[in-house]
Amino acid sequence: MEFLVEGLLHVTWQQMIMYGVGIVLIYLAVAKEYEPALLLPMGFGAILVNLPFSGVIDQLVEGSIETKGIIQWLFEVGIEASEAMPILLFIGIGAMIDFGPLLSKPVMFLFGAAAQFGIFFAICVAALLGFDLKDAASIGIIGAADGPTSLLVSQILHSNYVGAIAVAAYSYMALVPIVQPFAIRLVTTKKERAIRMSYRPAHVSRSMRIAFPIVVTVIVGLIAPSSVALVGFLMFGNLLRECGVLRNLSETAQTDLANLITLLLGLTISFSMRAEAFVRPETLMIMGIGLLAFVFDTIGGVLFAKFLNLFCREKINPMVGAAGISAFPMSSRVVQKLAMQENPGNIILMHAAGANVSGQIASVVAGGLVINLVSRFL
């Protein structure tokens, strides 16, 4: 009757830690509603892949019978082979985004750029702490505040820490309402946070909305070719939305496609949360560096806005710079909430939304540039 307790006897302490991690992720998803669409499947998947001799990953049964596991198959096909899942998800994300606030105030592109500073700061910190270049770059890209970009870069660079990077990227995106206000208050005064901004948007024609995704794809593709898959699919989704003749496809992309891939992506990522890959001292360091990346993204955006204020007659509320990270639409809402707290009735949401959607594009550019630049040194 030993076969009945064989599984139990092979549970390791590292696997028990992963059961705890899985339960924490499920708790954060259900009780705190932190990115539940991703954290719940990731949490449950973390338990599935860490059960001894788990059938969801490839096994050799009784030393001779090879069995294929579904989660390993999903990972090999959906992520390892061509990063299909995160890239296809970008179609849905592109279809959900309204670039109107950015098109009416295109100067917001610069805030999106400034708010990617944390990525490169984190790469330097990771290198200083002894990570090799490909891992440092993959850890730094957590600061892109974008799950698909983080997954894509860490996969292409063959990072050893895909699991920890994925958990960090998605967890910190959900913690933006906590991380960003703290970082903003570090580098601004109450008077600066209370600056009012008027909103006089330029008109955005339908032709502009249709031309924009095509133009962005070409420009970004020429500057950062490695990002063509991400930016191309993001902009394809946006073109589906804006063309006005494919409403059914646009709706499918925003709902069914996005939900289906999100459902499978969380479970698939859990393959990289096997105890032997995840329970290492480096995982805690990665979580710490990822948090630093988010903080310095925010600080980079805010300081850039303060720098521009030296030259602008009509002052910019520096918190708009913080909205330049890619966590859309959470970051713009956090900035608006802070603005109302500091100065009731102060509406900077549309400015923040413009910066926020530009951050979506800038993070993809950053991912492509990181792949391009790091590959030269590998």
Partner 1 sequence: MITGNFLIALEIMWKGMVGIFVASGVLYLAVEAMRRIVGPPCEK
**Which are the contacts of 179, defined by CB distance < 8 A and separation ≥ 6?**
172, 291, 294, 295, 298
CB 212 within 8 A of CB 103: yes
* Minimum distance from residue 63 beta carbon to partner 1 (Å): 42
Instruction: Between 61 and 128, name the residue whose CB sits nearer to partner 1.
Output: 128
Instruction: Between 119 and 277, name the residue whose CB sits nearer to partner 1.
Output: 119
* Minimum distance from residue 244 beta carbon to partner 1 (Å): 15
Instruction: Between 202 and 310, name the residue whose CB sits nearer to partner 1.
Output: 202
CB 117 within 8 A of CB 296: yes
* Minimum distance from residue 312 beta carbon to partner 1 (Å): 15
Instruction: Between 49 and 293, name the residue whose CB sits nearer to partner 1.
Output: 293
User: For the chain, what percentages of helix, strand and coil (3-state, to nearest 5) are there?
Assistant: 75, 0, 25
The alpha carbon torsion through 24, 258, 99, 355 (nearest 10 deg) reads 10
Instruction: Between 48 and 216, name the residue whose CB sits nearer to partner 1.
Output: 216
Instruction: Between 51 and 369, name the residue whose CB sits nearer to partner 1.
Output: 369
Q: How many helices (H) and strands (E) does the chain have?
A: 22, 2
- Residue 65 pairs in a beta bridge with 61
* DSSP 8-state secondary structure symbol assigned to residue 19: H
Q: Count the neighbouring beta carbons within 10 Å of the beta carbon of residue 203.
A: 7
* Minimum distance from residue 113 beta carbon to partner 1 (Å): 4
Instruction: Between 332 and 358, name the residue whose CB sits nearer to partner 1.
Output: 358
Q: Could you tell me the sign of the dihedral formed by the alpha carbons of 43, 45, 48, 49, in that order?
A: negative
Residues near partner 1, by CB under 8 A: 102-103, 106-107, 109-110, 112-114, 116-117, 119-121, 123-124, 126-128, 130-133, 136-137, 202-203, 205, 207-208, 211-212, 215-216, 219-220, 223-224, 358, 361-362, 365-366, 369-370, 373-374, 377
Give the residue from 167, 166, 169, 158 showing the smallest Cα distance to 132: 158
Q: Count the neighbouring beta carbons within 10 Å of the beta carbon of residue 2.
A: 6
* Minimum distance from residue 150 beta carbon to partner 1 (Å): 15
* Minimum distance from residue 370 beta carbon to partner 1 (Å): 6
* Minimum distance from residue 27 beta carbon to partner 1 (Å): 36
